[in-house]
Structure 1
Amino acid sequence: MQTSGLESPEQKNAGVALYRHCALQIASAIRTGALEPGLILLEGPISSVFQTSRATVRKAMGTLADEGLIERFDGRGFAVAGRPDGSPLTKRRLSGQDFMLDEAVRPDGKPAADQMIASVEAALMVAIAFGHYRVDEQRLGDSFGVSRPVAREVLWRLRESGLVEKNLHSSWLVGPVTAQAIAQDREVRMLLEPHVLKQSAPHLRHEELAAMRKAVSGAMAMEGKIPRDVIEGIERDLHVSCLRHFDNKRMSQILHGCRLPMIVDALFAQFIGIYRDESTFAEHLEIIDRLLAGAFEDAAASHAAHLHNEGRRTLDRLKVLSVLPEPEVAPYLQRIV
C-alpha cells in the first residue's frame, strides 16, 4: 500500500518526539560513562537497539554532534567525543544496556531516575549540613535496584542543581555547607532575584498572589512550631513560583544552583522547628502586597531587603545545626574525615 509523501501532524509530532528521545537517551549514556570516549557509533546498530529507523537515528546523531557529544570520523560515522589525542577508536557490539534502555523505564512506565531523584535529593540535603561525604555510585544503585549508569544519571542531574560536586577525576562529593558558601549563594540571589522578580511579576495572576498571601497569613496565625511543608511552601512561592515567568534560562539555572540558604532553612525546620516569625512573614506580605498593587519596582526593592535579612537568619540557623549530633545518613554516603 502506497502512502503520500505528506505526513499527518500526528506522525510529524511522533517523529520529533522519537528522535529527541533517542538523542536524550544517547546523551545520558555518554554523560554517565556507559558509552566511553572514542567508541564508534553507527546508525545501523543503534537503530536496531532503539527499534527505529536509520533516519530517526541520523537526526538524533546530528543533534548530538551539534552539542559536541559525538564527532564524525573519516566520513563513515560518529564516535563519542573526548578521547585523548592519538588514542585509537574502539568498536564493540551495542545493546540496550549500553543506553540504559533495559532498566531506564520501570514497569509502571516512569523512568527509574525520575523515581529516584526526589529521595536521593532529600538524603543529600540532610547530609550536607552535617559534614563532608563521598557518594558511592554502586551502593546508590544497589539501594534502588538499578545499575550504576542509572545511579550516575541521577547524580549528574543533581550536580546541575548544585547539590553534589564532581570534576573529571574526582569522586562525587557532597557538603559541607559553610558560612562562606551560604554567603556566596545569597550574594548571587541578591543580585539576580530582584531583577528576575520584576520581569516575571507582570505575568503573575491576581488569584495566585492572593493564595500566596493567604498562606503567609495562615502561618502567622499558627501557634507553636510551623510544619516544615508550610515553611517550604511559603519559600517556594516567593523564590520559585514568583520567578518562573522569567525567560532567561541561563540565569534561571544559576539561581537554581544557589539553593543552599533555602536548604539550610528547610533542615532547620526539620530538626529544630521554626516558630512564628513576625518579621520574616511581614517581609513576605510586603512583597506580595506590592505585587498585588502592581508596584513591581517597589516589590523588587522589598525583595532585595528580604534577601539581605534572610542571610543573617540563615547563618544563625546554620550555627545551631552545626552543634547537633550527626543524623543517620543514607548507606551510599561515606563520611570524609
Structure 2
Amino acid sequence: MKRDRIELPSDADGAPRQAPLYALITDVLRTAIVSGSIEPGAVLLEGPLAELLHATRTPVRQALRDLEREGLVSRFDGRGFLAGPAGAEPKRVVLNAAMLGTAAAEPVRKTLGWEGIYDAVERDVVHLSVFDRYRLNELELARHFGVGRMVARDVLLRLESLGLTEKDERLRWIVTPLDAQRINHLYELRWLVEPAALRAAMAAHPSRDVQPMIASLRRAMRQYPEVDRTGLDQLEHDLHVDFLSKCPNPELLQCLQRTRCILTLSKHVLGEAAPMPKRDPFLSEHLAVFNAVAQGDAPGAADLLRAHLEASCRKVIARAAAVRDSVALPDLPYAVVSP
C-alpha cells in the first residue's frame, strides 16, 4: 500500500512542510502495532527496521522512544523493544514490508541528502574538536562524501546548532574546540540553566511521565557494563533532552541547545576512543534525579541535577584528555588546522 505523505502546517510562503522522518516512522509502526500486523511480543530492533524502511537508525530510534512513551512498545532484558506492553514473551519475528503497510521497495520517505552523511561527519567533527581548532572546507567535504555542496552545508549548519561548528570572521567553517576550558564553561551554563528547566518541566507535566525512564535506568544498571553506546546515549537524552524539552520556556531550551556538543562527545567516544568506566558513568545519578521528580520534589530534583552536572564536568574533561592521549590525530581531506 502506498502511503500518502504526511503534511504539517504551511510555511510563510504557503509551501507545505513535510513531517520529519521519525514522525512518519512512528506513524507506520504505531499503525502496524495497533492493527495487530506486528504481534505483541515481537522484538523490534533498530537495524532491521532501518533497513526495511530505507532509513538510518537515528529516526528509527526516535520513533521507538516515542512509542515507548505511548505504551505501545516496551523494553525487556535484551536488545531492542517488544511490541506491546511489558511482560509479553519475546518473539523473534522476521518483519516484512507487508506488516508495516509499505511497498517492499518503497522508503517511508526519501532520505534527505544531509541525513545520509550526517552521522559520519558528526563523528569526525567531534573527534577533531578535542584536538585543536580546525577549518572545514565545505567543497572538499562534499567531494569526500560524493554529495552536493548544499548537502554539505546543511550538515555543517546542523552541527553549528549543537555548538560543534561556527563561522569565523571570514565566514569559513571552523570546528569549535572542546578543550578543558570550553567544557567547563559549557557545564557552568548547564548547571545554572538545566535545574531551572527541570523545575519548569515538572510544573508542566505529571510525575508519572518519568516512570518509563526510571525503568530504563534500572534495567541498564542491572546490565552494566553490558550496555552499548547507543543505549547510554539514549539514557542521556531521556533526562537532558527529552524530559527537559517539556519545559514551556523556549528561551531556556534555546540557551541549552548549544551545550548539546557535550552529549555528542560522550556519544562518540565513550566505550570507543575512551574506555567504558568500571562504574556506571551517570545511571545512578540520573535515577536519583528521576526518583525526586516522581515524588514531586522539585527542589531536591534540581539540587541532584546540579550535583550530577558538576560531577559530569570532571568526567568529560578527563574523557576528552583520554582521547587526545590514546587516539591518532584525525587526518581528513576536508579539515586543516586553523591558525
- Quick check: 2:204–2:248 contact (8 Å CA) kept in 1? no
Q: How big is the shift at 1:313?
A: 1.6
Shift of the 300–208 alpha-carbon distance from structure 1 to 2, 3 Å rule, reads same
Q: Secondary structure at the match of 1:299?
A: helix
Equivalent in the alignment of 2:220:
219
Shift of the 167–328 alpha-carbon distance from structure 1 to 2, 3 Å rule, reads closer
Q: Secondary structure at the match of 1:240?
A: helix
Q: Secondary structure at the match of 1:226?
A: coil
1:58-97 to structure 2, matched below 5 A, reads: none
Shift of the 279–153 alpha-carbon distance from structure 1 to 2, 3 Å rule, reads closer
Counterpart amino acid of 1:322? R
Q: Secondary structure at the match of 2:168?
A: coil
Count of matched residue pairs? 244
Shift of the 293–127 alpha-carbon distance from structure 1 to 2, 3 Å rule, reads same
1: CA distance, partners of 2:331 / 2:300: 43
Match of 1:19 among 8, 13, 19: 13
2: CA distance, partners of 1:279 / 1:164: 27
Please say which structure displays the higher CA radius of gyration. 1
Q: How big is the shift at 1:17?
A: 4.3
Matched, 1:320 2:314: no
Q: How big is the shift at 1:217?
A: 1.6
- TM-score if structure 2 supplies the norm length? 0.63
1: CA distance, partners of 2:8 / 2:137: 38
2: CA distance, partners of 1:126 / 1:135: 13
Deviation per residue, 1:162-192 (Å, 9 max, x gap): 1102134142111432110001000100110
Q: Secondary structure at the match of 2:166?
A: coil
Shift of the 201–319 alpha-carbon distance from structure 1 to 2, 3 Å rule, reads same
Matched, 1:228 2:229: yes
2: CA distance, partners of 1:326 / 1:304: 34
Q: How big is the shift at 1:139?
A: 1.5
Equivalent in the alignment of 2:167:
166
Shift of the 265–136 alpha-carbon distance from structure 1 to 2, 3 Å rule, reads same
Equivalent in the alignment of 1:196:
197
Shift of the 16–235 alpha-carbon distance from structure 1 to 2, 3 Å rule, reads closer
Q: How big is the shift at 1:239?
A: 0.5
Q: How big is the shift at 1:276?
A: 4.9
Counterpart amino acid of 2:193? L
Q: How big is the shift at 1:300?
A: 1.1
Match of 1:283 among 273, 280, 285: 285
Equivalent in the alignment of 2:136:
135
Matched, 1:261 2:262: yes
1:37-56 to structure 2, matched below 5 A, reads: none
- Quick check: 2:187–2:309 contact (8 Å CA) kept in 1? yes
Q: How big is the shift at 1:334?
A: 2.6
Q: Secondary structure at the match of 1:221?
A: helix
- Quick check: 1:158–1:164 contact (8 Å CA) kept in 2? yes
Q: How big is the shift at 1:161?
A: 2.0
Name which of structure 1's ranges 122-131 and 235-244 shifts more when overlaid on structure 2. Answer: 122-131
Name which of structure 1's ranges 117-126 and 188-197 shifts more when overlaid on structure 2. Answer: 117-126
Equivalent in the alignment of 1:176:
177
- Quick check: 1:129–1:175 contact (8 Å CA) kept in 2? no
Shift of the 316–168 alpha-carbon distance from structure 1 to 2, 3 Å rule, reads closer
1: CA distance, partners of 2:297 / 2:327: 46
Shift of the 332–20 alpha-carbon distance from structure 1 to 2, 3 Å rule, reads farther
Shift of the 172–114 alpha-carbon distance from structure 1 to 2, 3 Å rule, reads same
Equivalent in the alignment of 1:334:
336
- What stretches of structure 1 of length at least 5 have no aligned partner? 1-12, 24-105
Identity %: 25
Equivalent in the alignment of 1:4:
none
Counterpart amino acid of 2:170? H
- Quick check: 1:220–1:276 contact (8 Å CA) kept in 2? no
